[in-house]
Structure 1
Amino acid sequence: MDRNDEFNKGYILVMLAGICWGSTGIIVKGIITLGVGVENIAFIRMFFGFLSLMIYLGFKNKKLLRIDKRGLLITAIMGLTTQTVFNYVFFNSIRLIGVASATVLLYLAPVFLLIWSILFFNEKMSRIKILGVILCVISSYLAITGGIVDFEKLSITGVLLGIASGLSYSLVSVFSKLALKKYRPETIVLYAFMFGFIFTLPMIQINDLVNQFKNPDFLLLAFGLGTISSSIPYVLYFGGISTGIDLSKAGVLSMMELIVSICLSVALLREYMSFTKAAGVILIIVSIGIIRNSDYFERKFKRCKA
């Protein structure tokens, strides 16, 4: 497989990961209707993600369950920063400023990824990449809020926590890029989830959680949350990054998540799709196209300038 084919494979894997992540909102809403608190949802997402991947690897390839001390350290840091801390700051941001505003701040992650890719991985920046990232952030704002945010109700603490969630979310790619030099994507995801749910244990309401395990509907939704919107997309995303694609591109390509999430909400939950939200979704698609073909556009731009 030549380099271009490898990159194309990486782009597809990252976008497939975004599609799977797009199911998260629907599944979480189903779990919330059962009376499950957000801290418990964070725990079961990581626990069932770990459990499903452990069972899968146990049958497929037990060698992928092996990891050394360095790998344990990296995945422990990942579990703490990109899972436990992320869930804590994001859910508390939602509590203080609402779902829409918190989600907009979460999708500042591509901006942070652009910065990390320059600082740590010496990626070449271009005007086309920067344009794609800026367009991605603006279109996310439109798609999530419809262009309407009540600034009077915004809490400074909630805003800072929302920005922190975007920062934490962006670190997933940074740590995985480092870890993938030695470890398989499945192994990284498995142990990051393991440490994630261990670090989350002090925050959960254990009695409520035990009672929920008696409910078959809860078990079905929890398993779906752990597999369809957790272990599978993370393995796909890390697999995509392992092909060597730029992190700045991966951050925008994974925005397929938001498109799928909005479409599912409209189709299944009958949420209203305004013209502004629809325009935001279209602009996300445009930003993905720009980032995907940024090298081509940059070459064209240079030829025109010459």
Structure 2
Amino acid sequence: MKKAIPILFIALSASLWGIIAIFVRKLTEAGFTPMEIVTIRVVTAAILLGIIGGIKYPAQMKIKIFDIKLFIGTGICSIVLFNWCYFTAINQMNLSLAVILLYTAPAFVTILSYLLLKEKMDQTKILAVIATIVGCVLVAGVNLNAAASIRPIGILTGLGAGFGYALYTIFGKFALRKYSTFTVTLYTFFIASITLLPVTRLWDKWSRLVSGDVLLYGIGLGLFPTVIAYLLYTKGLEKVEGSKASIIATVEPVVATILSVFLYEEGFGFIQAIGSIVILLSVLIINRSKKSNRKIYNKKASI
């Protein structure tokens, strides 16, 4: 049961990422641009984590200056890069195609984990990665007319989003060798905040930020699909291989799609249902293989 908890943490974190549209739509209606919303997200998260750390984990707020490169990796190379590339891709192509390119992340994580983290590469992982990408294609929907009009720069920025998304898992794994889940999450959003604030000049909209519903949705965005989600994901990374974690996290588009059906009455057809099943099956396959490998190892050890 204990071995299933990290997997559950990652699945829960992905589910929380899947509800982000609730907050983003409200903040968009309030007049904020996509990158301003990202800034609201990371700054609110950094403030909340700073308060929690000051009260409960003061010892975990200390890091060595030399290790700041790890959090530049998670904060700038991942959070800032993937959001910038993703929103740029959305402006250059159909949304569904941008989503598909974003979810090339498990492929990037699997390759980088093999090269940098020395994780094993096997047929089951490769099959699971392919299945998740196919599943995301089906969930997002394929518009061939839109695909025909994509420019190369659109593909590059879309793949950049997937690559940036993947880097949190890679840099997070390295950071967790030295620091706690809380420390990694705190400095990720602190670095992202001090990078994005001067770029977006969010303080120019201060009066709008602190008004009624906007303040509540801003705090909600920083708390649920950010602080709680990233703490859970990073905690799960302590015990789960990066490549497997990224595959499990692809339940996010499934949750987002189901949410859109119930809250926004958007369409959910047969193709989307098949895609959701494919993603969930790939998650089951990757975790089943882990159990099978453990049984084989135990048998060998007992001989």
Q: TM-score, normalised by structure 1?
A: 0.91
Cα pair 1:76 1:192 within 8 Å, conserved: yes
Q: How does 1:155-166 map to 2 (within 5 A)?
A: 155-166=151-162
Aligned alpha-carbon RMSD (Å)? 1.9
Counterpart AA for 2:184: I
Counterpart AA for 1:257: E
- In 2, Cα distance between the equivalents of 1:6 and 1:170? 26
How far residue 207 of structure 1 moved from its aligned partner, in angstroms, is: 6.0
Counterpart AA for 1:148: N
Q: How does 1:53-132 map to 2 (within 5 A)?
A: 53-132=49-128
Q: How does 1:261-300 map to 2 (within 5 A)?
A: 261-296=256-291
- In 1, Cα distance between the equivalents of 2:203 and 2:49? 26
Distance 1:250 1:273, change over 3 A: same
Aligned structure 1 segments of 4 or more residues deviating by more than 3 angstroms:
205-208, 295-301
1:148 to 137, 143, 151: 143
Counterpart AA for 2:208: Q
Cα pair 1:26 1:265 within 8 Å, conserved: no
Counterpart AA for 2:241: D
How far residue 298 of structure 1 moved from its aligned partner, in angstroms, is: 6.6
Identical residues among aligned pairs (%): 31
Q: Secondary structure at the match of 2:267?
A: coil
- Any unmatched runs of 5+ in structure 2? 297-303
- In 2, Cα distance between the equivalents of 1:85 and 1:91? 10
Question: 2:172 is matched with which residue?
Answer: 176
- In 2, Cα distance between the equivalents of 1:297 and 1:73? 37
How far residue 16 of structure 1 moved from its aligned partner, in angstroms, is: 1.2
Q: Deviation string for 1:93-149 (max 9, x for gaps)?
A: 11111321111100000000110111112222221111111000000110011x334
Counterpart AA for 1:135: A
- In 2, Cα distance between the equivalents of 1:96 and 1:130? 30
2:41 to 41, 45, 51: 45
Cα pair 1:126 1:298 within 8 Å, conserved: no
Distance 1:58 1:159, change over 3 A: same
Counterpart AA for 1:246: E
- In 2, Cα distance between the equivalents of 1:6 and 1:69? 35
Question: 1:32 is matched with which residue?
Answer: 28
- Any unmatched runs of 5+ in structure 1? 302-306
Q: TM-score, normalised by structure 2?
A: 0.92
Cα pair 1:50 1:190 within 8 Å, conserved: yes
Question: 1:260 is matched with which residue?
Answer: 255
Question: 1:231 is matched with which residue?
Answer: 227
- In 2, Cα distance between the equivalents of 1:125 and 1:206? 44
How far residue 77 of structure 1 moved from its aligned partner, in angstroms, is: 3.1
